[in-house]
Amino acid sequence: MALGVRELIKQRVFERPVGSVSRLGLRFPWLRTLRLDSHCGRRVCLLYHLDGQVICRTCARLWYRAQRTSSNARKFLAMRKIRRKLGDYGQISLSQVPPKPPRMWRKTYARHLASLARIERSRYWPRARPARTDPR
């Protein structure tokens, strides 16, 4: 459960001294009282309710989904996202280029095709290593 910090700022929770308990009238039924504690001191936009604590993402050691996926999987997801923008929902094979959707600008279509080609090149052809220049 994520809690927006802006709502806590509106209720002036952070202006109270450390250790004070605040009774909150928030829209979150699981959070009626909040004890202000000094943790890491980072500026964050979201706090998370985990195991009865309200804690930031770094202190809770939470990960983003993209951090758990491989680079090839992220490239595949980006490629699928661009193909969906072009109107392909899996009915066109990956080797074919989707046609320009109606009412899409040609410049936008060209930009999407260029990014699609860039992703496909980086996915199937790893970057070449620089050639050695030292004589032996």
> In Å, how far from its chain's centre is CA 24?
30
Confirm whether pTM is higher than 0.85. Answer: no
Q: Where are the alpha helices (DSSP H) in 2-70?
A: 5-10, 65-68
> Per residue in 60-107, pLDDT tens?
888 888 888 998 889 989 999 999 999 888 777 777 888 999 999 999
Would you list the domain boundaries of the chain? Answer: 2-55, 68-124
